[in-house]
Amino acid sequence: MMEADSPTWRVPPRWVLLVAVLMIVLAEVGGGAMARFKVELTRWARDGMLARPSVHGLVGVRDVDERILDEALVKFDAGLRLFHMHAEGMGLVIIATSMVAATVIRRAAARRTIIALLTTGGAGYPVGYLAWSALIPSYGLERSKTIAEWLVWVPFGTATIVALWCLAGLVAWTMISRNRA
Amino acid sequence: MSGTVRRPPLGVVLVALVMLALGETAGAAMSRLKPEIQRYAAARIAANPGAHGFSGSAEYDDEVRDRAIFTAEAGLSFFHLHGEGVGLVLFFASALVAAVVPGRRARAVLYVLLTLGGLFPLGYLVYGAAVLEMGRDAGIELAERRVLTPLGVSAIAGLVGVWLALVRRRA
């Protein structure tokens, strides 16, 4: 009987677990930093936006500009929060799914590919929210979102989604072939 | 301490994985297909004017339509959030059952309860769709009563069962 037939877990490679735990640590640190340095972060973002008035469509009229700045600061804060939330979640997703892949997938190449996609996709995706927030003061709301979307969310998110559905398919296939046997 | 740790049946693992995959896919769809989803929602609402209590007054009807679209989108957003979260809860709780619950029958009962609870996020898909087809209040009522409450109770019962099994094991 192969190892994959045994009803016990196999542990994923150590680098995968290190990446997953690091994501969770970064998420915790991010959450703590958001609370502890809220004023400093807001000031940094606001100063960055005031230094580039044309990027943000600031017109020099206080009532108008404050509304624009407030909206951008809400998004800046939302990006940090979403990083905190997604990094915690994806760290756990990497641990759970790579453990299933390590246990169930028999072919070494397929197992390595799926684990690599799950880990890089899961670890990279939340960084997009951090990048989005960091880019808002320099590039404005829409452009920073587009950059984060095409450089981070789309490639890393797609990697995770494709790997997850492949893994679900392989688990289903394993169940079917065992029932046939 | 070293040694092997038992895993839950593949059927339970598959449900957890599918929930995670659906949650991820819904998140991507929410982000990439927002205008299409809003257009589809508006079309379904327009196809069911009676269910939404349209009065013929453009101002009132627009407000009702906006509220229904917002609620349907919230359903999709809750599905994304709960799909990811409940998928993980099912995975880790069932792994715990496999590792620490001694009786085969007790394990089977807990797997069934937890797996049904793992389907809880689907209630939010029903929530979103029912709001569009039946109107906001009737749709929410249906999803809460028929899907979210029974599946949620099942998840809670399963988790309480895991807790009791851990207490018994320690004693």
Q: Which of B9, B17, B28 is opposite residue A97, by nearest beta carbon?
A: B17
In B, minimum Cα distance to A145 occurs at B31
Q: Between chain A and chain B, how many beta carbons pairs sit less than 8 Å apart?
A: 66
pLDDT at B13 over 60: yes
The ranges assigned to domains in chain B are 10-170
Q: Which of B20, B25, B85 is opposite residue A97, by nearest beta carbon?
A: B20
SS3 B166: helix
pLDDT at B116: 98
Q: Looking at this predicted complex, what is its ipTM?
A: 0.90
pLDDT at B170: 67
Q: For residue B11, list chain A residues with Cβ-Cβ distance below 8 A.
A: 175
Model confidence at B4, pLDDT cuts 50, 70, 90, reads confident
- Best probe of the A interface among B6, B12, B13, by most A CBs < 10 A, is B13
pLDDT tens digits for range A77-105: 999 999 999 999 999 999 999 999 999 99
A153 in reach of chain B (CB within 8 A) = yes
Mean pLDDT, chain A, whole residue set? 94
Radius of gyration of chain A (CA): 21
pLDDT at A180: 85
In A, minimum Cα distance to B7 occurs at A8
Q: Which of A9, A165, A171 is opposite residue B10, by nearest beta carbon?
A: A171
How far is residue A26's CA from residue A124's CA, in Å, rounded to a whole number?
A: 12
Average pLDDT of the segment spanning A114-121: 98
pTM of this prediction? 0.92
Residue A69 φ/ψ, nearest 5 degrees: -65, -40
pLDDT at B169: 80
Minimum distance, in Å, between the CA of residue B124 and any CA atom of chain A: 19
Record: contact A8-B4, CB cut-off 8 A: yes
Q: How far is CA B80 from CA A50, A73, A119, B74, B97, in A?
A: 36, 25, 20, 10, 26
The ranges assigned to domains in chain A are 12-180
- Range scoring the smallest mean pLDDT among A57-66, B11-20, B154-163: A57-66
pLDDT at B24 over 90: yes
Cα torsion B28, B34, B36, B40: sign = positive
